[in-house]
Amino acid sequence: MSGHSKWASIKRKKATTDAKRGAIFTRVIKEITVAARLGGGDPDANPRLRMAIAQGKAANMPQANVERAIKKGTGDLPGVRYEAITYEGYGPGGAAILIEALTDNIRRTVADIRHLMTKYGGNLGESGSVAWQFENRGSLTIPAEGVAEDELFDLAVEHGAEDIERDGEQFVILVPAEKAVQLQKVLEQRHFPVSAMEVGLEPINTVEIGGADARLLLKLLSALDDNEDIEKVSSNCDILEADLAGFSA
């Protein structure tokens, strides 16, 4: 929608900043560790691990970091034991928020989330209160400079892409979650550089949020996203570009 921006788009821009300061490495390492603990250290037999490794590759994570995280998960190296937990709630303006965390201390994490929700005008809800408003999808980001758009479009659609959109200086390809890793491989084989790959929750429908609610909501979503225990933050908000003025990822 012209003049609007969804949280997913805002978050992709924020992820670029996170990648520069190495924050994305911490999140991917935790996900690899948990995936290996739950499903074993063989990515061929563990889809969740395979996906996490692909995310690390897109972020240019060194192979040594990946191998160390796998060994921590399988118990071959000592390490912290992380638990996966999901929280649901609403933010200013009635925007649905779904928070996916990996934590070694659930009490600390839920206390931090409650504090941020209260500080920025949100509230936690019951399990299932907002999850039905989201679906699992994959997204791949490719820098636009020097890319043959028609070739990219044809190749992505041929291998399962549902949509391709230009987002500033990059292309974002949306694809069913189960096809994301394979599409990444195909694109890289054809020399399209994938700068980021993520599988996460996308809203089925969005809610327009504006004015003071929008600015407060952005502060809440950004603060949650910056919490080291939180892996992913999803929201169904659709914010007017005018309300993004002054917001820094």
Domains in the chain, CATH or no CATH each: 4-74 (1.10.10.200), 83-132+205-244 (3.30.70.980), 134-203 (3.30.70.980)
* Vertex 47 angle, CA 59 and 193, to 5°: 30
Q: In terms of pTM, does the model score above 0.85? A: no
Q: Contact at 8 Å (CB) between 239 and 215?
A: no
**Residue 247's pLDDT is what?**
66
Query: Does residue 8 or residue 19 have the better pLDDT?
Result: 8
**Residue 81's pLDDT is what?**
84
The predicted-structure confidence for 181-233, as pLDDT tens digits, reads as follows 899 999 989 999 888 888 888 899 999 999 999 999 999 999 999 898 998 89
Rg (CA), the chain: 18
Average pLDDT of the segment spanning 153-180: 90
Tokens of 198: 């993520």
Average pLDDT of the segment spanning 94-119: 95
Assess whether pLDDT exceeds 80 at residue 245.
no
